[in-house]
Amino acid sequence: MAAAPSVSKRVIVLGAGPAGYVCAIRLAQLGQKVTVVEAEYLGGTCLNVGCIPSKALIAASTFLEKVGHAATMGIHVEGVKLELEKLVAWKAGIVGKLTGGVGGLLKNHNVDVVMGKGSITGKGKVRVATKDGNKDLEADAIVIATGSVPLAIPGFDFDGKHVWSSTEALAPARLPKHLLVIGGGYIGLELGILYRKLGAQVTVVEATEGALPGQDKECVAVIERSMKKLGLEFITKAFAKGYEVAGDTKRVRLEVGGVERFVECDQILCTVGRKPYSAGLGLEKVGLTTTKQGFLEVDTTMRTKVDGFWAIGDIAGQPMLAHKGSKEGLVAAAVIAGQKEEYDSRCVPAVIFTAPEMASVGLLEEQATAKGHKVKVGKFPFAASGRAMSLMETDGFVKVVADADTDELLGVHMVGPEVTELIAEATLAIEMHATSEDLARTIHAHPTLPEALMEAAEAVHGMAVHIFQKPGK
């Protein structure tokens, strides 16, 4: 990494989420004078009402489920009960530690933090509406890292009572008896499975033909079977049209395959996606315009079309993932500080905390074929993994997609135990232009779950040891 430049610039970062605060810290490390403007809370959606609290609650629900199956191991547990208030408080404690840590890091790096809603008033100028009145700031560069907000659909406005967004779902005052989830993407399935494991009846409705649109279909099929085993109802080709309230009951009207259907529940959760946050930012005052989807267009250095403005994170385009935003923040910081840097990632991993977990990086088989690759695929099931057996989690597999001519890794897709951790090795391999043979020849510790990736790489060439492959397969 290059040394910090001799010239220090004044930089304003709008937003302190995983894109904004990472950018601010790196800017400070590179000798810049940085001010962060945050409207609500340090850490943004991810740390406060997104990634971290959801994974904490999911971990708790998974632990509760495992206790219920402990008798299989000869461990008998009686009198297990859920205290929802304590669970939510435990989750809040984790969030508090992490957001406090972000605040401490910003302070230690001499980053000024101004709490309030910021808006651009001109080139290099930002006005912040704080609790003590307006505060005007000036800078040489402005980084827009305002993130995104939950997307509502007609007839299902978020009111925190009848209709939850993911925010309310992560801080429940009560456990619903019957939760209806609108949207079968990763947020809807993660939260739906979470509440099912905690004891609620759950119905998920999805407009497309299956769960997790755009993901590897074989991986998704494993998750759909798991949801069925959990007793979670999943309705496809279904559109939510509205609801009526009668006491504690919500009667939700659906259109399923052109036929009207009603589902009664006591809580609705809408998780149809998120949209970039740009309301009231004053973008128009400096000539910045968003796309139809609400994104700001940027180049590989995260510069917008207007000089002096950068955009990172959710507002800078898909995929709307925290780790992608953090990487963009590092790139923007380096460029602002005078270094030669650009966003040049071959792939961005996706992790989904369903049951079982799913993770993916690189190209799907059909995407690779569409790009002109002749594809070879290797698969290895967790049912043949000794470590997976010892964890009593044998559903799923690892799939390696490689170029048949060059053997270069094109994509890796996993569903099964702890695959959200295993995907890191696959991401590094693709970034380094590794081949499936490179993975296969690398010694993996035994007995561990990553051995499944090694075996899947061997399977590309029909040479997996711990499963039988017919010659020529």
| CA–CA distances in Å: residue 343 to residues 293, 304, 393, 427 | 21, 14, 37, 16
- The residues near 128 (Cβ < 8 Å, ≥ 6 apart) are 37, 114, 116, 117, 118, 119, 134, 135, 136, 137
Give, for 142, the enclosing helix (H) or strand (E).
strand 141-144
- The residues near 78 (Cβ < 8 Å, ≥ 6 apart) are none
Round to whole Å and give the CA distance between 457 and 6: 48
Give CATH for domain 163-272. Answer: 3.50.50.60
**Which residues are part of the catalytic machinery?**
446
The domain locations on the chain are 10-150+275-336, 163-272, 350-459
Query: What is the topology classification, in CATH, of domain 350-459?
Result: Enolase-like; domain 1 (3.30.390)
> Of how many residues is the chain composed?
473
pLDDT at 161: 96
Identity of residue 212 = L
Going by C-alpha positions, the residue among 12, 35, 342, 291 that lies closest to residue 144 is 12
Q: DSSP labels for 147-174?
A: -EEEPP-TT----SSSEE-HHHHTS-SS
Domains 10-150+275-336 and 350-459 in one fold: no
List of the chain residues with pLDDT < 50: none
When the candidates are 3.50.50.60, 3.90.1150.10, 3.40.50.720, 3.30.1180.20, the CATH number that belongs to 10-150+275-336 is 3.50.50.60
User: What pTM was estimated for this model as a whole?
Assistant: 0.95
